[in-house]
Structure 1
Amino acid sequence: MEAYSTTRSGTYRERLAAAAGVVLALVLLRLPFRHTVRAVRLARKAGRRELDLARAEVLVSAVRHTARMWPGRAACMETSLGSALAAALLGQRLDWCLGARFAPPPVEYHAWPELPGHGPVGEYTASGWHHYTALTI
C-alpha cells in the first residue's frame, strides 16, 4: 500500500481530482519548500467540508493509482501531497503530515495524508508501524 496502487478506485470526479493533485504536487515539490507549504495552506482554506474515512481511503488510493503512471519518483511525499491537494480540489479537508515512521528495525522519514481525529489514511498502522508527526499542514 505504499506509493503504487494497482486498483483503480473512486468516481470519475475523484480520479480527475487525483490526477490534478498529483500534477500539482510534482510541480510544487520542484519549488522551494516554503512555497509548497504556502500553497498547501491556501489549499486547506478551500477544503471546508470534513472528509469521512471511507472516502479519504478511496481518494488516497486514486492518487496512488494515478501516480503509478508518472515515470519519475512518486513516493510518499508526492502521493501524500497529491492527496491533500486532491481533497482541496474537491472542497474537502485532508492534512499533509511530515515526520517519521517507526517499526521494530527500521526508522524512516515519511510523509502521509491524515484525517483530523482519525490518524493516517492509507497507511500500515496495524502491523506495528507508528507515525510521529513533525509538521502538519
Structure 2
Amino acid sequence: MTSMEAYSTTRAGTFPERCAAAAGLALALVLLRLPFCFTVRAVRLARRVGCRRLTAAQADALITAVRHAGRLWPGRAACMETSLGAVLAAALLGRRLNWCLGVRFSPPPVEYHAWAELPGHGPVGEYTEAGWHHHTALTI
C-alpha cells in the first residue's frame, strides 16, 4: 500500500461523517486486537444496523475521512484498519458497506488487501484505474 492510499491529507465529509469516521477507526483498532471471529461477528452485527444506501461519492468521502483520521494514530492504520473503520463508520451513520478481504494485483506484485465496497458495486476509494484488480476471498 502506498503512503498516498494509507494516509489522506484532505479532510472530506461533513462533521457527522468525520466524527463517525474517527469513532469507526477507533472501534476497528480495538476489534482487530481481538480474535478474528469476534471481529467478524461485530461487523455482521453492525451491517444489520445499516439500511440506507450510500452513493459512490458519499462512500468515497467516508473512506477519505477514515484515512484522514488514521493520520492521528501513531500505529498501523493501513488497508485492514481503514476499510473496517469505514464499514463501522457507515454503520454508525445508519448506512451499509461491505468489508472485503482478498488480494489485489497488477502484472508484477500480488498482495493481500482489505477494502470496502458498495453492495452491487466495486471497491470504493481504491485505485482500480491504475490496473489493480481485486479478487475477493471473504465478503462480510
TM-score class, shorter-chain normalisation, is over 0.9
Letter in 1 for 2:38: H
Quote the residue 1:72 is aligned against: 75
In structure 2, distance between residues paired with 1:86 and 1:43: 9
Quote the residue 2:107 is aligned against: 104
Equivalent of residue 65 in structure 2, options 62, 67, 73: 62
Segments of structure 1 that go 5 or more residues without pairing to the other structure are none
Q: Deviations over 1:71-124 (max 9, x none)?
A: 000000000000000000000000000000011100000000001122000001
Matched, 1:3 2:33: no
Matched, 1:122 2:125: yes
How well do the aligned residues superpose, as a CA RMSD in angstroms?
Answer: 0.6
In structure 1, distance between residues paired with 2:69 and 2:106: 28
TM-score, with structure 2 as normaliser = 0.96
Quote the residue 1:132 is aligned against: 135
Q: Percent identity, aligned pairs only?
A: 77
SS at 1:124 equivalent: coil
Quote the residue 1:31 is aligned against: 34
Letter in 2 for 1:114: E
In structure 2, distance between residues paired with 1:105 and 1:68: 29
In structure 2, distance between residues paired with 1:115 and 1:4: 21
